[in-house]
Chains A and B, each alone.
Chain A
Amino acid sequence: MNATTKLAVTFVVMAMVGCAMGPSKEETAAKASAMLKTSFKANGQAGLDRLDQDETQRVCSALDGNAPSKEVAERIEKLNLATIKDPADGKFLGDWKNGEKIAQEGRGKQFSDDPAGPVGANCYACHQLAPQELSYGTIGPSLYQFAKLRGYGVDTQRYAYGKIYNPDAYAACSNMPRFGHNGILTEQQIKDVTALLMDPASPVNK
């Protein structure tokens, strides 16, 4: 992140505050950040460094849940697109059966989780995938028939892999975790989940 873009972000934030009385939103955000630091304690794998926001988190937090402007979105997406590393062997698809397990697994990265224990993507918390699973969430869109509707080609595979790796590369300030960029899932796990979406044999595409 260079100084120019930081200034640009500051400008955007200030512009949104407008001529409101009292402290600016940015000042309040700074107070909130400082308060958070004194209000949490490190526990197991969850250290206080988790409260240090990167540029994407900071910009997205200032949006109050609204969509970013076109300019901000483009910048955030560019920033995040640059982080995506394609699989070393060039193959985007792993084992969809493993992918299904990862999609069901809700544990991982919580201070209450065993650091050596499973880390999942918990896809079903937010998305419909395989139709056999009735208990799915709706924070994200339904991914049922993901490839059946979009095609099974390598470009779609690359997109699916990249979207799991870093969704902010395609939709700035997405609600979805950046599973690859933030080291939540391994490359193999991302390939497995990609296969759950893309493999013609996956229940998702039935």
Chain B
Amino acid sequence: MDAERMDRGRRAVLKQGGGATLLALVAAAGWLRPEVAGAQAQAQAWNKAAFDTHNMAETMQALGGGEPAQSKDIVFFQTPDIAENGAVVPIGITSNIPKTESIAILVEKNPNMLAAVFDIPAGTEPSVTTRIKMGQSSNIYALVKADGKYYVAAKDVKVTLGGCGG
């Protein structure tokens, strides 16, 4: 079931990304270095080009890198299949891939695909939990850089809105 879901996610990516595939995503994990210390240095390091991309192809171009492999060793946790409100969607990602260096969250159908990138220094568990906005139901990609290589997993999250009157 997971494999099938991921496979569908991958097809969607390939369809959107064309020949460039997921090359670029890969680099997402590479931009941040643990040794970057000091908030000011970090702010300057913010990868505007990557965060400004509006579709997979652009994101790839902005980042550059090799094509990530589908991985069953990337696990979503505390991530619902259906979010009651798209303003706050809990996302938990654990990488069971040895030597994980970073974890990135991408939302396929958001205006800007890239939501967040976490650098995981040695000694920190390759697992993060945060909350993101989703404009609509979409695939969410977890992109992991480990030992210089790149891996990806996808999860489909539906967003419902509701309530009365508005």
Enumerate chain A interface residues (CB-CB to B < 8 A).
106-107, 110, 122, 125, 134-135
Question: A106 to B160, Cβ gap below 8 A?
Answer: no
- 7 A-B pairs within 8 Å (CB atoms) are namely A106-B165, A107-B166, A110-B165, A125-B164, A134-B160, A135-B160, A135-B162
A125 to B166, CA, bound (A): 11
A100 to B160, CA, bound (A): 19
Closest-CB distance, A138 to chain B (whole angstroms): 13
Residue total for B at the interface (Cβ-Cβ under 8 A): 7
Closest-CB distance, B110 to chain A (whole angstroms): 21
Mask, B125-166, CB within 8 Å of A = 1, is: 000000000000000000000000000000000001111111
11 new A-B contacts, CB < 8 A, other than A106-B165, A106-B166, A122-B164, are A106-B163, A106-B164, A107-B165, A107-B166, A110-B165, A122-B165, A125-B164, A134-B160, A135-B160, A135-B161, A135-B162
* CB-based nearest A residue for B165: A106
Closest-CB distance, A110 to chain B (whole angstroms): 6
Q: Which residues on the B side are within 8 Å of A106 (C-beta)?
A: 163-166
Closest-CB distance, A114 to chain B (whole angstroms): 12
Q: Which residues on the A side are within 8 Å of B164 (C-beta)?
A: 106, 122, 125
* CB-based nearest A residue for B158: A134
Taking CB atoms and an 8 Å cut-off, the chain B residues in 52-67 that contact chain A are: none
Q: Which residues on the B side are within 8 Å of A122 (C-beta)?
A: 164-165
Q: Which residues on the B side are within 8 Å of A125 (C-beta)?
A: 164
Q: Which residues on the A side are within 8 Å of B160 (C-beta)?
A: 134-135
A134 to B164, CA, bound (A): 15
A1 to B166, CA, bound (A): 36
A135 to B166, CA, bound (A): 14
A106 to B166, CA, bound (A): 6
Closest-CB distance, A102 to chain B (whole angstroms): 15
Q: Which residues on the A side are within 8 Å of B163 (C-beta)?
A: 106
Closest-CB distance, B157 to chain A (whole angstroms): 15
* CB-based nearest A residue for B164: A125
* CB-based nearest A residue for B166: A106
A19 to B166, CA, bound (A): 44
A91 to B166, CA, bound (A): 32
Q: Which residues on the B side are within 8 Å of A134 (C-beta)?
A: 160
Nearest 5 CB-CB pairs, A to B?
A125-B164, A106-B166, A106-B165, A135-B162, A107-B166
Closest-CB distance, B162 to chain A (whole angstroms): 5
Q: Which residues on the B side are within 8 Å of A107 (C-beta)?
A: 165-166
A98 to B116, CA, bound (A): 42
A33 to B166, CA, bound (A): 27
* CB-based nearest B residue for A122: B164
Q: Which residues on the B side are within 8 Å of A135 (C-beta)?
A: 160-162
Taking CB atoms and an 8 Å cut-off, the chain B residues in 26-48 that contact chain A are: none
Q: Which residues on the A side are within 8 Å of B162 (C-beta)?
A: 135
